[in-house]
Structure 1
Amino acid sequence: MKKIPGLIFLFLLMNFSIIGQIMNKKFKSEVQTIILSKSEEKTIITDNPVIDLGTQGNYQICFDDLVMKNLTYHLRVIHCQSDWKPSNLSEIEYLQDFNDIPIRSPKNSFGTKIPYLHYQIELPKVRISGNYIAMVYAQRNKRDTVFTKRFSVYENAITVAAKISFARPNHLRNTHQAIDLTLIYPNQLMLNSDEGIQVILRKNYQTKNWLDKIPRAQINGQDRKITFPFYDNENVIPGGNEFRLINLSSTQQKMTFVESIRQYDAYTEVSTQLEVPQGNYSYVQRPDFDGSFVIDHYENGNSNVSSDYIWCIFQLKMEELANEQIYVVGAFNQFEKSPENLMEYDASKQMYTKRIRLKQGIYNYQFVSNKPNNMLEGNYSQTENTYEVLVYFRKPGDRNDSLLGYNKLLFP
């Protein structure tokens, strides 16, 4: 397998938000519902999935093409360092098979008002742990990139012992959570310092690292333990709030939090129940998917090709916020603040609204501002959150960052 010259230059042409760092990004508006997950029906779709190196398989990439041109798409897997910048490894060093895999035989949607072609392909297995990008492009032209999707592969070389609790300082106890962290490493890692170790804490499967100011590690060579003395609340995280939910699995009957359904010849339109800011209210426990979503068709079992696309109108009743932009975010749009999910203010109704096209299913979402704003959702230490600890280490002599430890924690 030959390494493609100028590949990094290609990434710089692709308008990523951070130069050299590859993001989750969609480049074609006609491509919808991009999913990298286990292949089971009605599985919960999270962003930035993490896969065990020893039990790879049963993961797939799927997406829908609403233009129905039956284009030839190809999948390419790119190895990245811990900062999501492409590594200089050759493909034969990290892949078990060939790259540039054709995505063939799309399935036509069945019984939907909005027709589409459904593509899916099994994710190829990799040889080494670390960060990866699944890159899909059209017509064998790598510059015609359709989307990029992040995923990580870990190995259980470092044991991650972690615990989430309420924040200890009195002024943060009602609004924040905290992590206590210990790493246990094997004998063959011969660590004398924390050089080469990077610890990342993610919340609800999003990309942000909540331990960006982690202190220097303390290494106990006798017990093979690495601890982190948090002296200045570096391990404290805002609790946030439970995600809002809209059930779009049926176009025939009102499901959870649906206000109205309007049927048209070419499409169906659904309005959510009227929502309000939650930051000034007491915490209320609600079941959610921690920002994720599920593709589901209530009346038909085959959700991949029988689920229709619905125009969903999100509604937020409140006074207009001067000099702020309000967005609808969730795993369905990678929590990205983009023009596609920027809400508009209707002064006559005194509410923000946004019309977004979504595939039938159940969606978590939140309202966020382009500026710091706790009023929209609030911060509560009781909030049920999912945390992920990822431990990267560059072994002496290696040219890549290995993902040697991983742990997923549920709080409380």
Structure 2
Amino acid sequence: MRKLVNLFLFSFLIILPGINAAAQLVYDNKVYQPNIKTVECYKTDKEQSLPIIILKSAETITLAFDDLKGGNKNYNYTIEHCTYDWKPSRINKLDYLETFDEDIIFKYRFSFNTLQKFTHYELKLPNEQIKPKIAGNYLLKVYEGNNQNKVILTQRLYITNNAVNVGVEIVPSSGVEFRTTKQKVNFTIFHPMNIVNPNMEIKAIVMQNNNPQTSILNTKPTFVKPNSLVYNDINLNEFWGGNEYRKFDTRNFRYKGEHVQDFYRDTTINVILVTDQPFGNARYSNQIDENGNFFIRNQEGRDNVTDSDYADVLFSLNANPPTAKGNAYVVGRFNNYILDENSKLDFEPSRRRFYQNIKLKQGLYDYKYVWVDEDGKYNDTIFEGSFFETDNSYQVMVYYRKPGARWDELVGFSNLSTVRN
């Protein structure tokens, strides 16, 4: 039976000693302080890619963020091994770390010629101070000084040992009524291990566009063959195709970029985006997007990192609430698809519109609107529509727990994009 895994629900809360309720540690991509902005975490050789690397290889993961308070703070970091569903593995650090268990972020730069002053911090993992020993999910924690109760951000990292190969194909929905609106992911795990009970030993997660809100957990293969597990059940791994992401361009504050209606300066820079209209199922946008990603860029300075300024960006959607109770959100990789007060839209009945101001750094941004009803049902098609033709990327992650083992290993990963005709 298909299990829809909302990794928002998987986020495991732990109240650390001395930490208040407002700063509970969440095993998810999360920012805990309002002065921390533009968190980027990706495989170093491909900007904005999923932060996944091969164990004991030369590959690294880059973490970067801005502190709008400026100055120079002592930010420390550590990593913690997690289960396939992002709960703490609770194994000894000696089991998953070859080196020390924490270090200081030494690399930082100050903003230059910007209205909003900030300090940019950056680090790469693994390094000589922090190096994982085993494959699996890891939570990266950044905190002030040596006090792990003062967490400023957490990010999910993936370390794989590539012990298995994963073959993936994307096909139309098995249901005739969804052939034009859904995409189905079938995959096969090719493994060399002696897997006695795949239902217990193997967990496979499929995700669309690196968005945890879309994740589906697979615990039972459709067919078990010699050295391969096939997952192609008629009811498994069907995703709404959605629509191409909306986007805007704020690389330059001297002229209006794509989807920018106006901008002005007072104590801050303010950008007003063109009011969006719901697409619905009658319209496929057929535009090139970045599958929800964002890229920090500017056309006025010499350095994208330090010379890009911040602006209060006004999003607005011309639509009525689709149900009597619920909330609309604007999401993308820029806010890790997190549904919180910062991404929630206010509704103005007299103008029949949703709106929200979000402080964002100069660059190119993908985004979309989602609706969450009073029962917590996540719907990212009600404002955007859904089409099989939509270009999406799919990630398949395979976890293996050996009989008698105390942790889950990430043993395989595959990333596949739908192909434009």
- TM-score past 0.5 threshold: yes
Greater shift after overlay, 20-29 or 360-369?
20-29
**Does structure 2 conserve the Cα–Cα contact (< 8 Å) formed by 1:193 and 1:219?**
no
The one-letter amino acid of 2:205's match is I
Using structure 2 for the length normalisation, give the TM-score.
Answer: 0.88
> 1:213 and 1:97, CA in 2 relative to 1: closer, same or farther beyond 3 A?
closer
Which residue matches 2:394? 387
1:161 aligns with 2:205: no
- Give me the whole-angstrom Cα distance separating, in 2, the residues matched to 1:348 and 1:135: 44
Q: Structure 2: where are the runs of 5+ without partners? A: 1-12
Using structure 1 for the length normalisation, give the TM-score.
Answer: 0.90
The one-letter amino acid of 1:106's match is Y
Which residue matches 2:417? 410
Classify the secondary structure of the residue corresponding to 1:242.
coil
1:225 aligns with 2:231: no
Q: Percent identity?
A: 29
> 1:39 and 1:183, CA in 2 relative to 1: closer, same or farther beyond 3 A?
closer
Q: 1:211 aligns with which of 211, 216, 219?
A: 216
Greater shift after overlay, 333-342 or 347-356?
347-356
1:27 aligns with 2:47: no
- Give me the whole-angstrom Cα distance separating, in 2, the residues matched to 1:15 and 1:216: 40
Deviation sequence 1:166-200 (CA, Å, 0-9, x none): 113211101111112111111xx112221210010
- Give me the whole-angstrom Cα distance separating, in 1, the residues matched to 2:366 and 2:263: 19
Greater shift after overlay, 140-149 or 342-351?
342-351
**Does structure 2 conserve the Cα–Cα contact (< 8 Å) formed by 1:26 and 1:148?**
yes
Classify the secondary structure of the residue corresponding to 2:174.
coil
Q: Which runs of 4+ in 1 moved over 6 A?
A: none
The one-letter amino acid of 2:358's match is I
1:45 aligns with 2:48: yes
Deviation sequence 1:278-306 (CA, Å, 0-9, x none): 11422131111111111111222411111
C-alpha displacement at 1:334, in angstroms? 0.9
Q: 1:86 aligns with which of 80, 88, 96?
A: 88
Which residue matches 2:251? 249
1:138 aligns with 2:139: no
**Does structure 2 conserve the Cα–Cα contact (< 8 Å) formed by 1:20 and 1:86?**
no
Q: 2:384 aligns with which of 363, 369, 377?
A: 377
**Does structure 2 conserve the Cα–Cα contact (< 8 Å) formed by 1:12 and 1:20?**
no
- Give me the whole-angstrom Cα distance separating, in 2, the residues matched to 1:380 and 1:268: 37
Q: Structure 1: where are the runs of 5+ without partners? A: 1-6
Deviation sequence 1:316-336 (CA, Å, 0-9, x none): 112345323111111111111
- Give me the whole-angstrom Cα distance separating, in 2, the residues matched to 1:68 and 1:147: 17
Q: 1:349 aligns with which of 342, 348, 351?
A: 351
Which residue matches 2:284? 283
> 1:192 and 1:318, CA in 2 relative to 1: closer, same or farther beyond 3 A?
same
- Give me the whole-angstrom Cα distance separating, in 1, the residues matched to 2:303 and 2:103: 26
RMSD: 2.4
Classify the secondary structure of the residue corresponding to 1:211.
strand
The one-letter amino acid of 1:193's match is N
Deviation sequence 1:347-384 (CA, Å, 0-9, x none): 34332111100011111111111125433011111111
C-alpha displacement at 1:25, in angstroms? 1.3
> 1:69 and 1:291, CA in 2 relative to 1: closer, same or farther beyond 3 A?
same
Aligned length: 396
The one-letter amino acid of 1:404's match is V
